[in-house]
Amino acid sequence: MHNDTIVALATPSGSGAIAVIRLSGKEAIAIASKCFKSVSNKDLEQQATHTIHLGHIMEDHRTIDQVLVSIFKDPNSYTGENVVEISCHGSSYIQQEIIQLFLRQGCRMATAGEFTLRAFLNGKLDLSQAEAVADLISSDNEASHQIAMQQMRGGFSSEIAKLREELLNFASLIELELDFAEEDVEFADRTQFKQLIERITFVLKRLIDSFAVGNVIKNGIPVAIVGEPNVGKSTLLNALLNEDRAIVSEIAGTTRDTIEDEISIGGIGFRFIDTAGIRETEDVVESIGIKKTFEKIAQAQVVMFLANSIELATGDTALKAIEIEIEKIKNKFPQKQLLVILNKIDQITDSELAHVSNRLRSHASTVIPISAKTGFGVEQLTNTLLNLINTGALRNNETIVTNSRHYDALLKAFEEIEKVKYGLETDLSGDLLAIDIRQALYHFGEITGEITNDDLLGNIFANFCIGK
Ligand SMILES: Nc1nc2c(ncn2[C@@H]2O[C@H](COP(=O)(O)OP(=O)(O)OP(=O)(O)O)[C@@H](O)[C@H]2O)c(=O)[nH]1
Ligand SMILES: [Mg+2]
């Protein structure tokens, strides 16, 4: 149990209409009460839990602000300790004055994530739920929000905890057999045990596979926009983002550095990367930009290759050159999902368009005609993007792993379970089997926090903001 009382600003720093300052610890209510004068002369310490009180924060006879104070009593609070939340006016000056006052009254400044750490240590949340709190705060689109909420409700950790318990049961039975080694008895039913291992393998596999989707959703799907100079890459970026983010001009080589921005489409975060047009050039700055373009393609999951349909409609030479370019990208980045986009179709005839797209379809499975300038076809493009991303698991509300620490522990648990499985098939002696089971249990425990150490906790909570 922590003896000190911590204080921090829970709302973002800077000024706003209202700010919330939070205290947690044994003395939280007592300390707040010393600095608070209720309008109806109530003594805070005598008030019931989950009540709100209007009054003033005072230092001696000086009034700092008029505030609302909410109190939550141990154990019915976020941290499981006495908690006081003070809603004050949101000037940075007032926030600082109040916090300083509480520090003088014996509070300590909270470290990053310390409120949630205390909630974990007091059994209010398990570790993966605590981590979901951080994800929830940073979620900025529907998909990442949905995943964080699900994890916070405990969906994924309760599944793991249940399997861990069943496994623990078998571990104890097998260890019990060891005590009766002379009698050669079998307490742990091997058939049932094998079935459990099958089930665990299935669940672990599904969770491990979900990480690919989860990771992408959490960080936004990187989409590189590439193509020759002047084909309209920056115009398309602006159309996708719905704002004038990149400079557009008729001069080839306008974009020299990469420009990135994120936007949520259909609830999924996409990170579009506008790149410098690829061409042979003597210009040093431009060639650095082009080198960067290739690096960006390497990082992207989807490559949108833009071509200027006006040029392609002029004849075979231009078409052949583009076909070679497309093949080059396919060879260089065979793993990437490639979309070929025919831009500027507002300037060509329908029959020209039919001819050009037919030719390019033999090189790429998806060819999308658009006019970045008028916005024609951009919606079809975003729909195609959404369909490319396998979000089936998300739509089916399945558990998705987004945290690399969990992923790591799941992989290790999987490895150990495979050993147990092999041990069962080869009639491995009980003592060796028990060791592998214990190892698997260890990695399960790492996820939910049954097994922790200070370094691990320090690492996890250091990524939180102060005041959470
Ligand atoms: N008619 C027409 N013009 C377009 C279209 N899209 C872009 N343009 C024009 O093409 C020119 C080049 O557009 P940008 O978006 O700057 O091209 P870019 O590919 O980013 O060029 P770099 O940055 O130089 O590689 C500009 O004059 C645009 O207005 C389109 O769909 N139709
Ligand atoms: Mg550009």
The CATH number of domain 6-126 is 3.30.1360.120 = yes
| 398: confidence class by pLDDT, cuts 50, 70, 90 | low
For ligand 1, the distance from its centroid to the CA atom of residue 317, given in whole angstroms, is 21
Please give all residues whose beta carbon lies within 6 A of any atom in ligand 1, as ranges.
Answer: 229-235, 248-250, 252-255, 276-277, 343-344, 346-347, 371-373
* Ligand index nearest the alpha carbon of residue 236: 1
Indicate where the chain has its CATH 3.40.50.300 domain(s). Answer: 234-247+256-371
- pLDDT tens column, 212-251: 777 777 778 889 999 988 999 999 999 999 888 888 988 8
**Ligand 1 atom closest to 251 (CA):** 24
| 3-state SS, one letter per residue, for the chain | CCCCCEEEECCCCCCCCEEEEEEECCCHHHHHHHHEEECCCCCHHHCCCCEEEEEEEEECCEEEEEEEEEEECCCCCCCCCCEEEEEEECCHHHHHHHHHHHHHCCCEECCCCHHHHHHHHCCCCCHHHHHHHHHHHHCCCHHHHHHHHHHHCCHHHHHHHHHHHHHHHHHHHHHHHHHCHHHCCCCCCHHHHHHHHHHHHHHHHHHHHHHHHHHHHHHCEEEEEEECCCCCHHHHHHHHHCCCCCCCCCCCCCCCCCEEEEEEECCEEEEEEECCCCCCCCCHHHHHHHHHHHHHHHHCCEEEEEEEHHHHCCCHHHHHHHHHHHHHHHHHCCCCEEEEEEECHHHCCHHHHHHHHHHHHCCCCCEEECECCCCECHHHHHHHHHHHCCCHHHHCCCCCCCCHHHHHHHHHHHHHHHHHHHHHHCCCCHHHHHHHHHHHHHHHHHHHCCCCCHHHHHHHHHCCCCCC
Residue 390 has pLDDT above 80, yes or no: no
The CATH homologous superfamily of the domain defined by 234-247+256-371: P-loop containing nucleotide triphosphate hydrolases (3.40.50.300)
| 463: confidence class by pLDDT, cuts 50, 70, 90 | confident
Collect all residues with Cβ–Cβ distance below 8 Å to 60 and sequence separation of at least 6: none
Which residue owns the Cα nearest ligand 1 atom 21? 230
For ligand 1, the distance from its centroid to the CA atom of residue 230, given in whole angstroms, is 5
Mean pLDDT over each residue of the chain, to the nearest integer: 89
For ligand 2, the distance from its centroid to the CA atom of residue 222, given in whole angstroms, is 18
Residue 127 has pLDDT above 80, yes or no: yes
Residue 138 vs residue 440, higher pLDDT: 440
* Ligand index nearest the alpha carbon of residue 229: 1
For ligand 1, the distance from its centroid to the CA atom of residue 257, given in whole angstroms, is 16
Range from 55-59, 67-71, 267-271 carrying the lowest mean pLDDT:
267-271
Residue 283 has pLDDT above 80, yes or no: no
pLDDT score, position 2: 64
For ligand 2, the distance from its centroid to the CA atom of residue 51, given in whole angstroms, is 58
Rounded distance between C-alpha atoms, residue 382 and residue 376, angstroms: 12
pTM: 0.65
| 397: confidence class by pLDDT, cuts 50, 70, 90 | low
For ligand 1, the distance from its centroid to the CA atom of residue 337, given in whole angstroms, is 23
**Ligand 1 atom closest to 228 (CA):** 25
Which residue owns the Cα nearest ligand 1 atom 10? 232
| 412: confidence class by pLDDT, cuts 50, 70, 90 | very high
Q: Are 440 and 253 in contact (CB under 8 A)?
A: no
Which pairs from 144-152 meet CB under 8 Å and 24+ separation? 144/217, 144/218, 144/269, 144/402, 146/267, 146/394, 147/214, 147/217, 147/218, 147/394, 147/400, 147/402, 148/402, 150/397, 150/399, 150/400, 151/399, 151/402
For ligand 2, the distance from its centroid to the CA atom of residue 359, given in whole angstroms, is 26
pLDDT score, position 373: 95
- pLDDT tens column, 81-108: 999 999 999 999 999 999 999 999 999 9
**Mutational test site, ligand 1, from 346, 347, 373, max ligand atoms within 8 Å of CB:** 373
Indicate where the chain has its CATH 3.30.1360.120 domain(s). Answer: 6-126
Indicate where the chain has its CATH 1.20.120.430 domain(s). Answer: 130-214+400-449
- pLDDT tens column, 152-209: 887 778 888 888 999 998 888 888 888 877 777 777 788 899 999 999 999 999 888 8
For ligand 1, the distance from its centroid to the CA atom of residue 371, given in whole angstroms, is 10
**Mutational test site, ligand 1, from 235, 247, 374, max ligand atoms within 8 Å of CB:** 235
**Ligand 1 atom closest to 276 (CA):** 25
pLDDT score, position 264: 85
> Which CATH architecture does the domain made up of 130-214+400-449 adopt?
Up-down Bundle (1.20)
Which pairs from 280-287 meet CB under 8 Å and 24+ separation? 281/253, 283/253, 285/256, 286/253, 286/256
Which residue owns the Cα nearest ligand 1 atom 14? 232
Which residue owns the Cα nearest ligand 1 atom 1? 344
Mean pLDDT on 46-63? 96
Residue 332 has pLDDT above 80, yes or no: yes
| 313: confidence class by pLDDT, cuts 50, 70, 90 | very high
